[in-house]
Amino acid sequence: MISADNLIALVRDYNPKTNADRIAAAYDFGREMHDGQFRRSGEPYFSHPVAVAAILTEQQLDDATIITALLHDTIEDTDASYGVVAEKFGDEVAMLVDGVTKLTNLQLSSHETKQAENFRKLFMAMSRDLRVILVKLADRLHNMRTIRSMAAEKQVQKARETMDIYAPLAGRMGMQWMREELEDLSFRVLNPEARQSIIRRFITLQKESGDVIERITGDMKHELAKAGITAEVLGRAKKPYSIWRKMEEKEQGFSRLSDIYGFRIITDNEEDCYRALGTIHQRWRAVPERFKDYISQPKTNGYRSIHTTVSGRDGKRVEVQIRTRQMHDVAETGVAAHWSYRDGVRSNNPFAVDPVKWVAGLTEQFDAEEDHEDFLEAVKLEMYSDQVFCFSPKGDVVKLPRGATPIDYAYAIHTRIGSACVGAKVDGLRVPLWTRLKNGQSVEIIIAEGQTPQVSWLDIATTGKARTAIRRALREVDRERFIKLGRELARSGFEHVGRKSTDKALATAARHLRLKTQDELLARLGSAELTAHDVVQAVYPDLASEEGDKVPPRRAVIGLSPGQSFERAPCCQPLPGERIIGITFRGKGVVVHAIDCDGLGAYEDQPERWIDLNWHSGTHPAVYGVSLELTIGNDAGVLGRICTLIGEKKANISDLEFVDRKPDYYRLQVNVELRDIEQLHSLMLTLEADSDVAAVDRFREKAKHPVSTG
């Protein structure tokens, strides 16, 4: 673990005016608060916040951010409170620590609708102070570097979350080095065989062709020196995941993949960037359509660089990035460059973007999103996309994600222009609306009064803004007809369970389904975006489940081969709604385990027996047994009342066993038959709320299946 003095020395290297006493005090306070806590690896827990702080010193961040890193887990995991942190280190640090704590508590790997809501919260946290997400990214990076000490299923969950959310977010913020490392660390967990295969191919290639990087770097330095250009040349091999992604995208094997090496030329000024570009293109042949000028058209996160790909005599392609030193600093730290220090003062980098404006620009297009799934789709498109730059007839630049069409362009200008679009001209020629736009093209949108969006546009548009506007317009076209039809469907659905479709019931359903109004609910019901069962279930979940079509137990699991049977593992007793994995057994079919079952560890070295499975999304009958352990008061009538509570939750008691009897309490195991995980959660909450129930837990035993059965 890095000592306080060494950490302060790292900060002092770029900020001689740092408040060393304040950092030392935070170090001592954090160490005291985390005293006695240990990581899974056995190390003192405080080694983690110190490592996070050290990562942030590499980005030359201010004292407040470094102190926040040292304290980022104190409010969540120790006795320290917001007030104590504010009193000792000021409101700024307390606010940052609290922001990181709230981000940590977001379950970003949950199902889609909830994930969209968490993205919205994430952007709200970022909008208050972007340093919160910088600390969180450094926190995730260190956790990924030390992920081997975690349980296998937890590694997979964290790696997938990192690949889906944190890595693209780091890239979007301009911190490309962090994105690449997060991706590669996740790749090591999610597909270790593929990663090792690429590394082995690299070693073989190096033996066959020698040190390509050193040779090309030397050639570039020589050519630049001949041209009188002072520049630093850096070369590197692409990360294994980057290569794997290119192989997947291009559907090519490693041997056919050419641009696996990247080089950076860092010059003294912008003029030399373009001179260096000319020198490189004179010496090596430029690859068509692989040129991007992000100096004249910078990315929204401040990134500036010239990108080109060249081909040598042997046909091997290499990517070359050309930028100035100041541009390089922003390229390394992205939006974080706003807080960077150099020689004791805030770095005055002209290319660093204002983080407040950056977050505002990122979130502006999502403010009008009505559907959570639309919002999530737009966020992911925005994070993952590269950009193309097109020109309006007046010469204005319009930035769009790669793969955008004239429909996306029209909606980027204004929703009214998009909705009235009837055609487009690209570089003066009429083109179909599904045409993919390219860098530098001039686009003119042809509009007509009375035109409305077409359903087919949803297959053409790629940006979240365009797709959301199209969906909204399509809903409005037949809104009144859909509302009338929806009202009839709702009436029929409520009557089916013996209830009336009152305004209050419909308003309640709309609120539970996160819709703004009753009319919005009816319109979606009439347009088949919702079913009557969905609406009834939102108000009367128990009645809807009773009356809904039941999924036969033999067809409850999706993902099995034809004729393959399954049984639930007795060790974890998985329920519909839980994530599940199947383990094949010769002569027994498939045994289904919950994804977090300890018993799966016995099969880690037999991946060929693992099958990805899912529960059927329909309504299941209450036939799935689960064991509960209860500790209840030893008073007259308590046991009877507990059994009544279980019955009222539509759960059937199949067995009951007293585990321990004491003068003041009973401990018993109750086997109940349930339909899904939601019913289990509801039942456990009801039991926990009873004053005579001291504890209720789901009982899980150790796996008993032999691991040798193939």
- Using DSSP's 3-state secondary structure scheme, residue 482 falls into helix
- Using DSSP's 3-state secondary structure scheme, residue 334 falls into helix
The residues, ordered by sequence, that sit 6+ positions from 653 with a Cβ below 8 Å of its Cβ are 643, 646, 647, 670, 671, 672
Calpha distance 472→480 (Å, rounded): 14
| Cβ neighbour number for residue 206 with a 10 Å cutoff | 13
Calpha distance 474→547 (Å, rounded): 32
What phi and psi, each to the nearest 5 degrees, are found at residue 589? Answer: 80, -130
Calpha distance 689→641 (Å, rounded): 13
DSSP state of 106: -
Calpha distance 117→114 (Å, rounded): 5
289-315: string of b/e by CB count within 10 Å (b at 16+)?
eebbbbbeebbbbbbbbbebbbbbeee
Long-range contact pairs involving 52-55 (C-beta distance under 8 Å, separation at least 24): 52/135, 52/138, 52/139, 52/142, 53/7, 54/2, 54/7, 54/10, 55/138, 55/141, 55/142
| Cβ neighbour number for residue 277 with a 10 Å cutoff | 19
Calpha distance 590→561 (Å, rounded): 10
- 131-145 helix and 47-57 helix, angle to the nearest 10 degrees: 120
Q: Is 293 a catalytic residue?
A: no
Q: Is 478 a catalytic residue?
A: no
| Cβ neighbour number for residue 709 with a 10 Å cutoff | 13
- Token code pair at residue 706: 């032999």
Catalytic one among 77, 219, 259, 692?
Answer: 77
Calculate the CA dihedral of residues 422, 425, 431, 437 and round it to 10 degrees: -110
- Token code pair at residue 458: 């949803």
Catalytic one among 28, 62, 63, 76?
Answer: 76
Strands (DSSP E) found in 639-686: 652-661, 665-674
The answer to whether the CB of 96 falls within 8 A of the CB of 128 is: no
The residues, ordered by sequence, that sit 6+ positions from 164 with a Cβ below 8 Å of its Cβ are 109
Calpha distance 572→270 (Å, rounded): 63
Reference 352, options 322, 324, 331; nearest CA is: 331
The residues, ordered by sequence, that sit 6+ positions from 526 with a Cβ below 8 Å of its Cβ are 481, 482, 483, 484, 485, 486, 487, 489
* β 306-311/292-293 pair status: antiparallel
Burial of 112 (0-12, 13-18, 19+ CB in 10 A): exposed
Q: How far is CA 610 from CA 297, 349, 506, 571, in A?
A: 49, 52, 45, 17
- Token code pair at residue 504: 């209050």
Calpha distance 445→418 (Å, rounded): 9
Q: Known catalytic residues?
A: 76-77
